[in-house]
Structure 1
Amino acid sequence: MTPSSQNPRRIYGDYTYSRAPIDSCYWAEAIPEAALAHPPARGRITTRIAVVGGGYTGLNAALALAESRAEVTLLDAEFPGFGASGRNGGFCCLGSHRASDAQLRKFGKDGPGEVHRAEAAAIAHVEALIGRFGIDVDRHSQGETVMAHSPRAMEALRRKAPALSRDFNAEVRLIERADLAAEGLYSPLWHGAMHMPLGFALHPRKYLAGLVQAAEHAGAVIHGGSPVLSVSHTGKRHLLRTPDAEIEAERVIFATNGYTAETLLPWLRGRFLPAQSSVLTTRRMTQTELEAQSYTSRQMSYEDRRMLHYFHLTPDGRMVFGQRGALLSSPRNEARVAARVRADFDAAFPAWSHVETPHHWSGMVCLTASLTPYCGPVPGMDGVFAGFGYHGNGVAMASYCGAMLADLALGQPTRALLPKAFAAPPPRFPLGRFRRAFLMAEYASARLLDR
């Protein structure tokens, strides 16, 4: 196999992959870049397993490998958590796919059930890590609440609730519009809600920093500032080149998700579609301000529509509010999207229209054409594995898949259920590097359907 390109290419402009979109990330106040920075890899390095990418997938893989006493070296292009893992909305929740039950049944009659069980297990996996390592993640929210943006959406939630209760063996509770204020969840936009008692909200960088510490304590070696520029294969070994090092490894795990370079591996090209998501955070609000809006709950919530908003109050009274971002990448577009997010925030919470929002940032979620994550070997490359495509719900599922990838790299059965749907390689999107056109079409149709 010949080396991949020395000049990585991505489908968005350079601005998207720079530090600029996270200059004002609220999570960095508690865990700044300096707390996550690691020295770059230098010289010739030999390791049993190399992990490329220092987000939740890569860190969970590195931690599991190190705890199995495997020699592991993790490489991140910037610093651990630079990508989605250090800038997401803080939802440890169900989700990870957008496939229908009919699509999941292509992998067997129990296809949907396998995915449901894995999603619940992914939440439990994160919860167990937080407890085992004593990571203070500012945990809050008892499950998550789905808000109905229209009467028709509320009727749909009423129909869904019994099936969700059965599928997840959980007590799903409906909240009628008249009861939203009493629940501390009021907005003039919503027509009711549905509460699912699985999942919790957290501070994403505090969780990430805990994973870094746990992985290093277990024996993993972590390098920042080490973008992998090429991958080649000789005999039974893989050679990864960074600007300052050559890393030789028996096995390799690629965990770069929506920040993957098109030219990193030929097989990966076109099998993932990054989509931008934008988030703002208010200043800390007083109890009087919270009560003025009749929104005092710390529940993590989102709207039951395709172009959804997601939000939750932090323990100290800041509202984190996010939505889908732009299709273009530039400072001007970032400012335009920030204004749109703020306008949507004001519409949802009119009593807070005077409240400042000093923090705004954006990042990339990752979609696949199969509408499911992928967690498994890279076809045609013995000893190479990849995990990606969590569809905007990666806190739990990326963590879970990282641990599964560690087992696969060690050649042993996965420690927990890996759904057949997640083990099936996703097809390529048509249009190659121009596949963002699919997002344009989806956004247009979603706006029509969400009406």
Structure 2
Amino acid sequence: MTNTERRIYPGYTYSRAPIETCYWSEDVPDASLERPVLEGSHRVPVLVIGGGFTGLNAALDLARAGEEVMLIEAQFPAFGASGRNGGFCCLGSSRASDRQLRRFGPEEPASVRRAEAAAVAHVERLVKDLDLDVDRHSTGETILAHSPRAMRALRHEAEALSQAYGVTCRVLEKSDLGCEGLEGPTWHGGLHVPIGFALHPRKYAAGLLAAAERAGARIHGGTPALRVEQAATGLRVTTPAAEIHADRVLIATNGYTAESLLPWLRGRLLPAQSSVLTTRRMSQDELEAQGYWSRQMAYEERRLLHYFHLTPDGRMVFGQRGGLLSSPRVEAKIAARVRADFEAAFPAWRHVETPHHWSGMVCLTASLTPYCGPIPDMPGVFAAFGYHGNGVAMGSYLGARMAELSRGETPSEILPAAFAAPPPRFPLGRFRRAFLAAEYGMAKLFDL
């Protein structure tokens, strides 16, 4: 057995280099999230691997239920996507079409949508119950049409979305965007969906971390899980400096999962890079010069979308999908591309500095839906992953559902059949990033 982790991206991707200038770390620095390294031999009833939103929610739920739980994280809690995302607590996580979902039954599309709304409500409830200051802003989110054809599709979709989520979605014509504070030269209108809100992801993660520890969870950083195995004593998890024996293991590593952690997981996750920049604080005059002053979360109706929102203090957070390669040179090249797209979307802000740029990994599955459930043929091992870039809400929600499943309980809230079905492996094994190249190429054609 090797004591090294095997992954499909180079070591640079999983280092701290891509978050050296992450804006969120100004308010919640890495050091405030670091926890002691675990050493020696330990026996615990429940072990959670991964300290992002999924793992922290699982640990919090388990500890609140009176269970003795330990969580280990390779770097520090919220090191991965949870501490570096765009701050969207919103609908989403499934990319499967209604036709694909109906193979689980005619009501499955509706079940998935109920779960998406429940995931947003789960985070909202946690923020309120834990009294977390997460810089909350935005009432729902606005989908912006990048072409006349996309706008026609949004008009057609408005009634269906309203019925699916039980809300009133509002169509915004191009002439409405200026009045809404959503002006931009590349958009032809939009659709407002009144579910979701924006937040400071590291403040949310730090609040979850503190709550889990108060409830009794033991949390360790700098402790990567190298492998999970069945042993005579139950389950054995090996780290560089420790060996942990547990009755149950919950895996919550998502896009940062090592191929070598557990054979069943190999090839079932496809990490994809996402890149974000943040401007300096802008004045009200600068915001009005662009005609964009709304604090609404927004994203474009295209396959290779941009997503963005103004923070409460007037900084624009602007993100998009990253590249297929990873290195300092590639990171600089992608940062320049994101900056160019930012200037195209907001030409009045071409003079505005963007001192913060970072990148991270979202996680895709071949089923196009998240997974939450047991690992086949590994009694006591559970996993939740595959949020398709919408992990703030769904990662949190499925962390709590995974904790319930691990106790042998029926989930207290809806868990769609599509999410309980194990996703198949991607073809091509460690070369499966080729699928991203194909998807990005097709997206460029369809986005015209």
Does residue 258 of structure 2 align to residue 265 of structure 1?
no
Number of the residue aligned with 1:171: 168
User: 1:6: Cα distance to partner?
Assistant: 2.1
SS at match of 2:324: coil
Give the Cα–Cα distance (whole angstroms) in 2 for the partners of residues 275 and 224 of structure 1: 24
Structure 1 residue corresponding to 2:335, chosen from 328, 335, 338:
338
Give the Cα–Cα distance (whole angstroms) in 1 for the partners of residues 220 and 134 of structure 2: 24
Maintained 8 Å contact 1:177/1:190 = yes
Number of the residue aligned with 1:328: 325
SS at match of 2:191: strand
Give the Cα–Cα distance (whole angstroms) in 2 for the partners of residues 259 and 82 of structure 1: 10
Give the Cα–Cα distance (whole angstroms) in 2 for the partners of residues 48 and 325 of structure 1: 39
Residues 166-197 of structure 1: per-residue CA shift (max 9 Å, x gap): 00000000000011011000000000000000
User: 1:133: Cα distance to partner?
Assistant: 0.5
Structure 2 residue corresponding to 1:204, chosen from 201, 205, 208:
201
Give the Cα–Cα distance (whole angstroms) in 2 for the partners of residues 292 and 5 of structure 1: 58
Number of the residue aligned with 1:446: 443
Maintained 8 Å contact 1:5/1:264 = no
| Matched positions, count | 448
Number of the residue aligned with 2:183: 186
Does residue 395 of structure 2 align to residue 387 of structure 1?
no
Structure 2 residue corresponding to 1:10, chosen from 7, 13, 22:
7
Specify every segment of 5 or more residues in structure 2 that has no aligned partner in the other structure, as ranges: none
Does residue 73 of structure 2 align to residue 76 of structure 1?
yes
User: 1:8: Cα distance to partner?
Assistant: 1.0
Give the Cα–Cα distance (whole angstroms) in 1 for the partners of residues 251 and 362 of structure 2: 16
User: 1:235: Cα distance to partner?
Assistant: 3.4
Residues 15-66 of structure 1: per-residue CA shift (max 9 Å, x gap): 1011000000000000001110000111111111000000000000000000
Structure 1 residue corresponding to 2:406, chosen from 403, 406, 409:
409
When the two structures are superposed, what TM-score results if normalisation uses the length of structure 2? 0.99
User: 1:244: Cα distance to partner?
Assistant: 1.3
Give the Cα–Cα distance (whole angstroms) in 2 for the partners of residues 228 and 253 of structure 1: 12
Aligned-residue sequence identity (percent) comes to 68
Residues 256-276 of structure 1: per-residue CA shift (max 9 Å, x gap): 000000111000000000000
Residue type at the aligned position of 1:44:
S
Structure 2 residue corresponding to 1:429, chosen from 419, 426, 430:
426
Structure 1 moving runs of 4+ over 6 Å: none
Greater shift after overlay, 231-240 or 33-42?
231-240
Residues 73-99 of structure 1: per-residue CA shift (max 9 Å, x gap): 000000000000000000000000100
User: 1:5: Cα distance to partner?
Assistant: 4.2
Number of the residue aligned with 1:35: 32
Give the Cα–Cα distance (whole angstroms) in 2 for the partners of residues 281 and 5 of structure 1: 40
Give the Cα–Cα distance (whole angstroms) in 1 for the partners of residues 415 and 42 of structure 2: 32
Maintained 8 Å contact 1:232/1:239 = yes
Give the Cα–Cα distance (whole angstroms) in 1 for the partners of residues 149 and 281 of structure 2: 34
With over 3 angstroms needed to count, the CA separation of the structure-2 counterparts of 1:243 and 1:384, relative to structure 1, is same
Specify every segment of 5 or more residues in structure 1 that has no aligned partner in the other structure, as ranges: none
Maintained 8 Å contact 2:3/2:240 = no
Structure 2 residue corresponding to 1:113, chosen from 101, 110, 115:
110
User: 1:217: Cα distance to partner?
Assistant: 0.3
Maintained 8 Å contact 2:229/2:262 = no
Number of the residue aligned with 1:216: 213
Residue type at the aligned position of 1:78:
Q
User: 1:434: Cα distance to partner?
Assistant: 0.1
User: 1:230: Cα distance to partner?
Assistant: 2.1
Structure 2 residue corresponding to 1:313, chosen from 304, 310, 314:
310
Give the Cα–Cα distance (whole angstroms) in 2 for the partners of residues 220 and 273 of structure 1: 30
SS at match of 2:205: helix
Greater shift after overlay, 265-274 or 410-419?
410-419
User: 1:214: Cα distance to partner?
Assistant: 0.4
Structure 2 residue corresponding to 1:291, chosen from 288, 292, 307:
288
Maintained 8 Å contact 1:143/1:198 = yes
Number of the residue aligned with 1:59: 56
Give the Cα–Cα distance (whole angstroms) in 2 for the partners of residues 353 and 313 of structure 1: 16
User: 1:412: Cα distance to partner?
Assistant: 1.0
Number of the residue aligned with 1:361: 358
Number of the residue aligned with 2:248: 251
User: 1:236: Cα distance to partner?
Assistant: 5.6
Residue type at the aligned position of 2:304:
M
What value does the CA root-mean-square deviation take over the aligned residues? 0.7
Residue type at the aligned position of 2:444:
R
Residue type at the aligned position of 1:146:
I
With over 3 angstroms needed to count, the CA separation of the structure-2 counterparts of 1:304 and 1:356, relative to structure 1, is same
Give the Cα–Cα distance (whole angstroms) in 1 for the partners of residues 279 and 391 of structure 2: 24
